[in-house]
Amino acid sequence: MRKILLGLITIVILFPKFSYSQNSNTASTTAAIAGGLLAIGAGIASIEQMKERAELTATEWILKNNPELQNFSLKTLDFDGKKLKDMSSVSVISYKIQEFTPSDKPKLTGKKQVLFGFTSYGWISEQGIDFSRVLWFLVDEVEWMNMMVAYAKVASGEKNEAALKSAIINGLIVDNGVKVKGKFVVPFFKLEGDMYLTIDYSPEMKFVYNEK
């Protein structure tokens, strides 16, 4: 916030043309600009506070439900560069988790996992985050691969799980299929906008595929 206000002062001093006049309107104009910058700064601070609380809540969930995880890093990028209205439409928050061995300036070399926080309507507002509207799922590398194979299977009709796994390991899943070295090796079905393919992956999770 100090940097924002210092920047405002510098602009007013060095570039007086930003003030509409040199009369009594100058003070009110400067105050209006300062008020706008303060509002922007408050918005940025609000998002940062939400991000910190989201990471703290996720950490508390890990400690409570996965006590075997003792030394780990947890971080989300979902709040970076976002506005409050952008976050209100987010359907899932993802967290990168990686274990490490305690040491001076430790490096993240341990097991990697992803924590998903699936949101529901009204989970975020100007008052902050309502975590009672968030469902948590921790996914390791094996589970992630199983999920991707299941999704690619329903989206493509390919039944050979070994072939799908090989393509996913060596390639990249995009909207239209699985690409390996720039070529589609597992093309997905082309559907109309109101058509959906679904699969029950687990009692808690259903995968849905359509043209998007």
Does any domain span residue 193? yes
Does any domain span residue 71? no
Tell me the whole-structure pTM to 2 decimals.
Answer: 0.68
Question: With bands split at pLDDT 50, 70 and 90, how would you rate the model's confidence at 204?
Answer: confident
Does any domain span residue 197? yes
Does any domain span residue 42? no
The range of the structural domain enclosing residue 184 comes to: 141-212
Q: What is the pLDDT of residue 8?
A: 36
Does any domain span residue 56? no
Average pLDDT over residues 98-118: 94
* Range 44-53, long-range pairs (CB < 8 A, 24+ positions): 45/1, 46/84, 47/79, 47/82, 47/83, 47/84, 47/87, 48/79, 49/128, 50/79, 50/87, 50/124, 50/128, 50/129, 51/76, 51/79, 51/80, 53/128, 53/129
Average model confidence (pLDDT) across the chain: 81
Condensed to tens digits (0 to 9), the pLDDT of residues 15-37 reads 444 444 455 555 555 444 444 44
In one letter, which amino acid is 149? V
Instruction: Tell whether the model's pLDDT for residue 209 goes beyond 60.
Output: yes
Question: With bands split at pLDDT 50, 70 and 90, how would you rate the model's confidence at 42?
Answer: very low
Instruction: Name the token pair of 8.
Output: 């405002």
Condensed to tens digits (0 to 9), the pLDDT of residues 160-182 reads 999 999 999 999 998 889 999 98
Q: Name the region of 86 (left: φ>0; alpha: ψ -120 to 50; beta: rest).
A: alpha
Question: With bands split at pLDDT 50, 70 and 90, how would you rate the model's confidence at 13?
Answer: very low
Does any domain span residue 36? no
Instruction: Tell whether the model's pLDDT for residue 90 goes beyond 80.
Output: yes
Does any domain span residue 129? no
Does any domain span residue 192? yes
Rounded Cα gap, residues 166 and 180, in angstroms: 10
Average pLDDT over residues 201-208: 90
Instruction: Tell whether the model's pLDDT for residue 60 goes beyond 90.
Output: yes
Rounded Cα gap, residues 92 and 116, in angstroms: 6
Q: How many structural domains comprise the chain?
A: 1
Q: What is the pLDDT of residue 84?
A: 76
In one letter, which amino acid is 148? M
Question: With bands split at pLDDT 50, 70 and 90, how would you rate the model's confidence at 210?
Answer: confident
Instruction: Tell whether the model's pLDDT for residue 207 goes beyond 60.
Output: yes
Instruction: Tell whether the model's pLDDT for residue 87 goes beyond 70.
Output: yes
